[in-house]
Amino acid sequence: MRGREFLLSTVLTGALSAPVLSQTAETLGDPEAGLALFRRDCAFCHQIGPEARNAVGPQLNRIFDRGAGAIEGFRYSRGMQRMGIDGLAWTYETLDAYLANPRALVSGTRMSYRGMPDAQDRHDLIAFLRRHSDQPQDIPESAPTALAAQPDLPPAPLGVEGDADYGEYLSSECVTCHQQSGADQGIPSIVGWHPEDFVVAMRAYKQGLRPHPVMQMMAGRLDDDQIAALAAYFATLTPTD
C-alpha cells in the first residue's frame, strides 16, 4: 500500500470546522431540550443528578472545569487517562468538540458515540449539563461555563489528497517519539491510524483544543496538505510490536 494516495473527505463538525462565536450564557442553549437529548443519546451510559453514580460511563455532575479522567475509581481508557495527564479539562469549548466528534479530543476513547453533528443540539445538551455544574451567576468564584470568544478559524477542507511518499519524508520528527513498530509505551501509537482520526486529532492540536504543548507546536508547523500526507503514510504502516 505504500505510496498510495488517500482521499480524505473529512467533514469536521463543531469546534473543528466552524468559527466559534461569543454568546451569553442565556442564549447558549435550551436545557429542557438538552434533557431530552441526554435521555436519548447519553443516559444509557451516563448518570447525572443527586443520585448519580458511575455506570458504563462516569457520572457527569460538576463536569465543568473537571479534568479528563479525574473521577477516582472509574476505569477510563488509556487515551482518556493520557489526555488528563496532558491537562485536558472540560470547558464549554472542549465539551463542544468532544460531543461533535469524541475522537477529535481523545484518541482511543472507549466511548462508542459517533458524535452530535448539530451545533444547536450540542448547545442544548451542554446547557442541561451546566445545570448540574457551578452556575457562574450564583457562584461568582466558580469556573465560567459560558462560551468564550475565540478567534475566527477557517473551516477544514472537505477533501485533501494525502501523498504517503511525501508523508514518509515528513515523518522523521514524528518517529522520534512515536515508534514505527506501533509500540505503545507511554506515547500513543499512530501506526495504522485511520487517516480521518489522524486529521481531526492534528487539527484539534492546531486549534488548542488538545492541550499537549509539544504536539500543539508540531501541529502548528504543518499545513493541511502536510497533515494529510502524514495521515496517508502512517495509515500504510502495520504494527510489528
- Report pLDDT digits (tens) over 77-102: 999 999 999 999 998 899 999 999 99
Closest CA to 171 of 150, 198, 208, 149: 198
The pLDDT, as a whole number, for residue 139 is 55
The pLDDT, as a whole number, for residue 104 is 85
Are 161 and 8 contacting, i.e. CB atoms less than 8 angstroms apart? yes
**Every domain range in the chain assigned CATH 1.10.760.10:** 5-12+152-236, 20-130
The amino acid that residue 124 corresponds to is D
- Say if strands 160-163 and 5-8 run parallel, antiparallel, or are unpaired: antiparallel
For 110-140, how does the pLDDT look when each residue is reduced to its tens digit (9 = 90+)?
888 889 999 999 999 999 998 888 665 555 5
The pLDDT, as a whole number, for residue 99 is 94
The pLDDT, as a whole number, for residue 124 is 94
Q: Indicate the SS3 state at residue 122.
A: helix
Q: Give the DSSP H/E element, type plus range, for residue 8.
A: strand 5-8
Closest CA to 19 of 155, 126, 201, 116: 155
User: Would you place residue 159 in the very low, low, confident or very high pLDDT band (cuts 50, 70, 90)?
Assistant: low
34-39 long-range contacts (CB < 8 A, ≥24 apart) are 34/124, 34/125, 34/126, 34/127, 34/128, 34/129, 35/128, 37/116, 37/121, 37/124, 37/125, 37/128, 38/125, 38/128, 38/129
Are 15 and 200 contacting, i.e. CB atoms less than 8 angstroms apart? no
Mean of the per-residue pLDDT values for the chain? 81
**Backbone torsions φ then ψ of 3, nearest 5 degrees:** 90, -10
Query: Terminus-to-terminus CA distance in the chain, angstroms?
Result: 20
Res. 27: pLDDT tops 60: no
Residue in the structure block whose three cell numbers are 473537571:
66
% of the chain beyond a pLDDT of 70 = 77
Rounded to 10 degrees, the C-alpha dihedral 76/80/83/88 comes to -90
Domain 5-12+152-236: CATH class, spelled out: mainly alpha
Res. 162: pLDDT tops 70: yes
Res. 199: pLDDT tops 60: yes
C-alpha–C-alpha distance, residues 213 and 216, integer Å: 5
Q: How many CA atoms lie within 13 A of 153 on its CB side?
A: 22
Report the CATH fold assignment for 20-130.
Answer: Cytochrome Bc1 Complex; Chain D, domain 2 (1.10.760)
